[in-house]
Amino acid sequence: MPTITTVDVVDVRFPTSATLDGSDAMNPDGDYSAAYVILGTDADHSGYGLTFTIGRGTDLCVAAARQIAAPLVGRDVGEVTSDLGGLYREIMSDSQMRWLGPEKGVVHLAAAAVLNAAWDLAARSAGKPLWRLISDMTPAELVAACDFRYLTDVLTPDEAIEMLEKLAPTREQRIADLAVRGYPAYTTSPGWLGYSDDKLRRLCKEAVEEGWTHVKLKVGANLEDDVRRLGIAREELGDRTLMMDANQVWDVPQAIDWVNRLAPFGPLWIEEPTSPDDVLGHARIRQAVAPVGVATGEHAHNRVMFKQLLQAGAIDFCQIDSCRLASVNEIVPILLMAAKFGVPVCPHAGGVGLCEIVQHLSVVDYVCVSGTLDGRVLEYVDHLHEHFTDPVRIDAGRYRLPELPGYSTRMHSESVDTYRYPDGRHWSQGV
């Protein structure tokens, strides 16, 4: 029987701070990084997973992931991959590690990396892209892999099965549709805060030429700068859609004032206007800045936070993060709750590998959970894809359906060797 023989967790850091790629009002100089998990097996396939970080502290996620994944060594691959719900529950029920959260921060990020690797291993072992592995599961099988703890006041497993069963007969039609049309997306690449006005204008122009219909800009450091930058973007984009992202810099009253000053530029949403923990604050902001929508979620740390964001009517767009939430097991219940509340899921992406990962989740949302593309746009950022063996493919502002087996989470060995911190060639020799 094929067995998991090794667990490797690597601290990989890319020197993005040098070019200010990824710069925003809260994060001026991140080095986009990952705690990268490899579940080695004696079979043909290993499992690859990661959680995304931005520099210092990646080592903490690495150490946590090593502890969480260590018990997997020696386990039968088939047993692990056929009961990913069991693996999830095993990881979450370690009460000593749970104390450090619960279900948030470093231990949850690390759990995400390990579970992402386990789902990747399952998909590779089945010879299917992850979205296809899930689309081939029955509603009961998928629900059995999911965590509904603390959610049953809003959604029970039985209700989830009922929702999934309604859409199951038509799954293949939507897959065929995606194969032809791809999944709608938006780009954040032009809008980093550290870019000059000229670079912003040039990148907006290029985005239009490449067929993008939705572009997102970072805001929130300086109001006059924001007015000028949004003006430039609006000039170049014409009547295309513009979004704004403040990365948590405002208090609630300040968010309301600032967004209302920028509202004349007609943005679709303001993203992360305040603390990601502030459900009630988001609800108040949403009431005060309509028709500008409110989007958040990339720092919402678990399914309980999303439950409340939906219950409180706090968001117009639900931005799950594939590396902060504990993988498919926790994310599918959020997709289901969002569908129940009629809120479109527009995942957070960019970073390291997030585009690669979330494309599978958005396909699952469309094919299995919500059955619609209405209001959905999946984030795209044009960097670091070259480090992945199965990078995303974009065509005229839409994601192409992933075709290779797995969760698209595997990095090139050469990239890992070069950017391994602190002993990889880049960091130790400056190359």
- As beta bridge partners, residue 214 has 241
**Crossing angle of the two packed helices 327-341 and 84-92, in degrees rounded to 10:** 100
Burial of 180 (0-12, 13-18, 19+ CB in 10 A): exposed
Decide if residue 132 touches its own copies (CB under 8 A): no
> Of 188-217, which residues contact its own copies (CB under 8 A)?
none
CB-based contacts of 263, cutoff 8 Å, min separation 6: 289, 292
Binding mask 321-360 for its own copies (x = CB under 8 A): ----------------------------------------
Distance CA 288, CA 322 (A): 30
Site for its own copies in 257-276 (CB under 8 A): 274-276
Contact pick of 241, 252, 341, 418 for its own copies (by CB under 8 A): 252
Strand, coil or helix: 70? helix
Cβ atoms of 155 and 148 closer than 8 Å: yes
| Closest to 298 (Cα-Cα) out of 322, 270, 280 | 322
Q: Which stretch binds its own copies (CB under 8 A): 42-50, 135-143, 172-180, 279-287?
A: 279-287
Element (H, E) at 378: strand 378-380
Four-CA torsion 358, 359, 361, 367, nearest 10 degrees:
170
Contact (Cβ atoms closer than 8 angstroms) between residue 380 and residue 349: yes
CB of 191 to its own copies, least distance (A): 18
Residue 53 Cβ vs its own copies, minimum distance, rounded to whole Å: 6
Instruction: Name which position in 64, 121, 268, 358 contacts its own copies (CB under 8 A).
Output: 64
Q: Does position 15 bind its own copies by CB under 8 A?
A: no
Catalytic residue selected from 45, 348, 383, 387 = 348
Residues near 429 by Cβ (< 8 Å), separated by ≥ 6?
none
**Bridge-partner residues for 245, per DSSP?**
218, 271
**Binding of residue 27 to its own copies (CB under 8 A):** yes
Q: By CB under 8 A, how many residues form the interface with its own copies?
A: 61
Q: Write down the catalytic residue from 108, 216, 218, 387.
A: 218
* b/e 69-89 (16+ beta carbons within 10 angstroms → b): beebeebebeebbeebbebbe
Minimum distance of its own copies from residue 241's CB (angstroms)? 27
Question: Does residue 95 interact with its own copies by CB under 8 A?
Answer: yes
Residue 63 binds its own copies (CB under 8 A): yes
Region from 93-101, 192-200, 228-236, 373-381 binding its own copies, contact rule CB under 8 A: 93-101
Contact call for residue 307 and its own copies (CB under 8 A): yes
Task: Give the range of 95-103, 166-174, 222-230, 406-414 binding its own copies by CB under 8 A.
Answer: 95-103
Residue of the chain from 46, 302, 329, 409 that contacts its own copies (CB under 8 A): 302
Site for its own copies in 98-117 (CB under 8 A): 98-109
CA pair distance 275, 283, nearest whole angstrom: 12
Catalytic-residue membership of 216: no
Other CB atoms within 10 Å distance of the CB of residue 261: 13
Tell me whether residue 96 is exposed, middle or buried, using C-beta atoms within 10 angstroms of its C-beta: 0 to 12, 13 to 18, 19 or more: exposed
Comparison of 66 and 400: residue with beta carbon closer to its own copies: 66
Give the H or E element holding residue 12. strand 4-13
Query: Which CB, 274 or 319, lies closer to its own copies?
Result: 274
Residue 214 known to be catalytic: no
Least separation, in Å, of the C-beta of 305 and its own copies?
Answer: 6
Residue numbers at the binding site for its own copies (CB under 8 A): 26-31, 53-57, 59-61, 63-64, 67, 94-109, 149-153, 248, 251-254, 274-281, 284, 299, 301-302, 304-305, 307-308, 311-312
Residues with catalytic roles: 218, 348
